[in-house]
């Protein structure tokens, strides 16, 4: 019988349709083969992108030249403009402001066909180190309230270029999805003086039904109310609210856990298209700032990464209700991922 499951973080319901349960091979997505003879992100094409804002490169190399390991550049086709005033205004019952923000691309490697799960460990560490550095810098921008790091891997996941890259968008508002997480975390803390995410992690570790991988520092699990088949929630086991403050040791542990999770998806589902998003603390240095703006963040929020394989599509029911229908029970998905031969 199908089940209705509720997510205490996003306050949403999911239908886990156990009668539709399938094996991983039934979710195979045939990605169209796209041959791109030229990559503007490849080493040697540095003049084809805007000037870099950050790079990890060999000591003898020069900015905007070959010799880099990871390179961060403004998005040439940015969704938001870096310059200008917000110009907040009301239009009747509506609110409006100028499209001010930041849109950057983290080019993960000089090699056009080397993706995160297949990279050497030290290269994955360089990539996530670039995540941390850009967060640190952008959170000081007084106009930005939230900085989202996200990755689109594969055409079905929205990637326009196959060269491995991640994107960063800095917004002058807090997105609805993140805001709901923040509200849920704050409400839980005010009632119980505990972190909601820590409570979820401890309960999942005790049950072990949906745990995919755990080590001393991180845990990857399939959420109890997963929206999509083989969705993965990856988080530090120790409480931490702000990814920009992660230590070098924890950054290395995160890189290992991320590589492990992506490898399990690759081997279980035959290299599926996927998205991932990093949810961390919002920027608290915005000007102006409302009184009491997320004052308990340090205690109630818990940064995490959500990985979503693009195996099913949203249709009329999902759009009309906000519910999701997941044909793969999370317990089965976790078992398949645990058993993946790495």
> Residue 243 burial (CB < 10 Å; 0-12/13-18/19+)?
buried
pLDDT digits (tens, 9 = 90+) for 118-146: 999 999 999 999 999 999 999 998 889 99
pLDDT value at position 32?
A: 62
| Residues across the chain | 342
pLDDT value at position 156?
A: 86
**pTM to 2 decimal places:** 0.93
CATH architecture of 3-338: 2-Layer Sandwich (3.30)
pLDDT value at position 35?
A: 58
pLDDT value at position 19?
A: 66
Residue 1: pLDDT above 90? Answer: no
pLDDT digits (tens, 9 = 90+) for 152-172: 998 888 888 899 999 999 999
Collapsed DSSP state (helix, strand, coil) of residue 304: strand
pLDDT value at position 31?
A: 64
CA distances from 202 to 124, 144, 207, 239 (A): 27, 33, 9, 11
pLDDT digits (tens, 9 = 90+) for 28-79: 666 665 556 678 999 999 999 999 999 999 999 999 999 999 999 999 988 8
Residue 3: pLDDT above 60? Answer: yes
pLDDT digits (tens, 9 = 90+) for 230-265: 999 999 999 999 999 999 999 999 999 999 999 999
Residue 291 pLDDT grade (very low, low, confident, very high; cuts 50, 70, 90): low
What are the catalytic residues?
Answer: 165
Mean pLDDT of the chain: 91
Which alpha helices (H) appear in 83-228, and where do they start and end? Answer: 121-138, 176-192, 196-207
């Amino acid at each position: 019988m199908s089940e209705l499951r509720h997510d205490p973080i996003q306050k949403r319901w999911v239908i886990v349709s156990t009668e539709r349960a399938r094996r991983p091979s039934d979710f195979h997505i045939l990605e169209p083969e796209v041959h791109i003879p030229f990559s503007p992100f490849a080493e040697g094409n540095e003049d084809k992108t805007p000037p870099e804002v950050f790079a990890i490169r060999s000591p003898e190399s020069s900015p905007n030249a070959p010799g880099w390991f990871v390179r961060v550049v403004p998005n040439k086709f940015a969704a938001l403009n870096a310059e200008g005033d917000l110009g907040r205004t009301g239009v009747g019952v509506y609110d409006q402001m100028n499209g001010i923000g930041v849109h950057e691309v983290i080019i993960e490697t000089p090699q056009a066909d080397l993706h995160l799960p297949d990279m050497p460990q030290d290269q994955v560490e360089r990539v996530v180190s670039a995540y941390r550095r850009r967060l640190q810098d952008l959170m000081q921008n007084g106009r930005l309230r939230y900085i989202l790091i996200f990755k689109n891997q594969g055409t079905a996941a929205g990637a326009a270029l196959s060269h491995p890259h991640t994107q960063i968008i800095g917004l002058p508002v807090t997105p609805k999805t993140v805001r709901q997480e923040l509200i849920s975390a704050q409400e839980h803390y005010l009632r119980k003086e505990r972190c909601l995410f820590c409570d979820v992690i401890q309960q999942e570790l005790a049950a072990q039904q949906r745990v995919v991988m755990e080590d001393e520092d991180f845990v990857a699990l399939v959420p109890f109310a997963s929206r999509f088949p083989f969705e993965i929630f990856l988080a530090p086991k120790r409480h931490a609210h702000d990814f920009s403050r992660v230590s070098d040791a924890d950054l290395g542990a995160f890189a290992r856990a991320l590589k492990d999770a992506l490898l399990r998806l690759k081997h279980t589902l035959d290299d599926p298209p996927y998205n991932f998003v990093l949810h961390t603390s919002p920027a608290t240095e915005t000007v102006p700032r409302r009184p009491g703006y997320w004052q308990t963040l340090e205690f109630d929020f818990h940064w995490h990464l959500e990985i979503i394989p693009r195996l099913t599509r949203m249709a009329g029911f999902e759009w009309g209700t906000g519910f999701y229908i997941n044909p793969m029970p999370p317990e089965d998905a976790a078992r398949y991922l645990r058993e993946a031969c790495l």
